[in-house]
């Protein structure tokens, strides 16, 4: 099936780019060296989504859970996130970073992106979860955080820390694991979940196409 034959284009794709550390070890590098090899795949994926007319793309950058890892690793994945945003800020994209800015784990360079910034025609929304935590996200429902202003009875989604991110149609996870690992629990409620066994730095366009082809055959019931 060619791209042009695809009738169902997901409006919002979520990406879990897992396997950087395993890839580094397999390739004789220390674990933290893997993250830098995830940048090129991310940019290529962005280009493919732009070409295909996907409206929104969200990358699972790093989580508050992840920050418990050794500092060599946390420094490396923080840098990879900063670099990714920087590389896209020269392109055609509307960028948003979502995460807990109140902790030192949040890279200062990304603070300006916590309000959406449009580059070029901003044809595609590209979101990065950076120092994101599912507990942090859901805690806004409890009105513990600044968004308590947004507290709106009956509309959970609007009360989340991640309220600016829409429902996700298709999640693609690289690295073989079949779990969500805290990725936007509310937006992924009805998402179709496609797993690529290859590790993220081994990204090939074919992975993405296969995921989209599989998606063609899924129905949308929204739980109905």
Considering the complex, what minimum distance in angstroms separates the CB of residue 90 from a copy of itself?
A: 32
3-state secondary structure of 76: helix
Considering the complex, what minimum distance in angstroms separates the CB of residue 135 from a copy of itself?
A: 6
Binding mask 132-171 for a copy of itself (x = CB under 8 A): --xx--xx-xxxx------x-x--x--x------------
CA distance readout (Å), 171 to 58, 124, 132, 151, 166: 9, 17, 17, 28, 13
CA distance readout (Å), 197 to 88, 106, 176, 188: 26, 30, 4, 20
Closer Cβ to a copy of itself, 27 or 181, answer by number: 181
Residues between 44 and 103 with contacts to a copy of itself, criterion CB under 8 A: 63, 65-66, 68-69
Give backbone dihedrals phi and psi of 203, rounded to 5 degrees, phi first.
-45, 135
Closer Cβ to a copy of itself, 94 or 207, answer by number: 207
Task: Name 94's bridge partners.
Answer: 118, 125
Out of 28, 90, 104, 224, the only residue in the binding site for a copy of itself (CB under 8 A) is 224
Size of the site for a copy of itself (CB under 8 A): 37
CA distance readout (Å), 181 to 36, 167, 174: 21, 17, 13
Residue 20 interacts with a copy of itself (CB under 8 A): yes or no: no
Residues between 200 and 219 with contacts to a copy of itself, criterion CB under 8 A: 218
CB-based burial, 4-14: b 16+ in 10 Å, e otherwise? eebeebbebbb
Closer Cβ to a copy of itself, 95 or 182, answer by number: 182
Binding site for a copy of itself (CB under 8 A): 63, 65-66, 68-69, 134-135, 138-139, 141-144, 151, 153, 156, 159, 177-182, 185-186, 188-194, 218, 221-224
């Amino acid at each position: 099936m060619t791209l042009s034959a695809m009738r169902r284009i997901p409006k919002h794709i979520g990406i879990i780019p897992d396997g950087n550390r395993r890839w580094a070890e397999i390739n004789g590098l220390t674990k933290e060296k893997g993250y830098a090899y995830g940048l090129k795949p991310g940019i290529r994926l962005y280009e493919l989504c732009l070409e295909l007319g996907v409206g929104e793309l969200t990358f699972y950058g790093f989580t508050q859970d992840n920050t418990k890892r050794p500092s060599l690793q946390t420094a490396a994945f923080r840098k990879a996130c900063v670099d990714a945003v920087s590389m896209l800020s020269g392109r055609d994209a509307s960028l948003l970073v979502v995460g807990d800015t109140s902790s030192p784990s949040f890279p200062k360079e990304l603070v300006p992106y916590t309000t959406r910034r449009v580059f070029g025609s901003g044809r595609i929304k590209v979101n990065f979860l950076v120092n994101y935590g599912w507990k942090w996200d859901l805690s806004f429902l409890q009105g513990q955080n600044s968004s308590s202003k947004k507290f709106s009875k009956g509309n959970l989604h609007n009360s989340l820390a991640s309220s600016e991110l829409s429902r996700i149609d298709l999640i693609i996870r690289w690295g073989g694991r079949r779990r969500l690992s805290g990725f936007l629990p509310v937006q992924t409620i009805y998402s179709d979940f496609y797993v690529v066994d290859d590790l993220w730095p081994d990204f090939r366009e074919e992975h993405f196409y296969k995921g989209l082809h599989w998606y063609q055959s899924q129905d949308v019931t929204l739980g109905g």
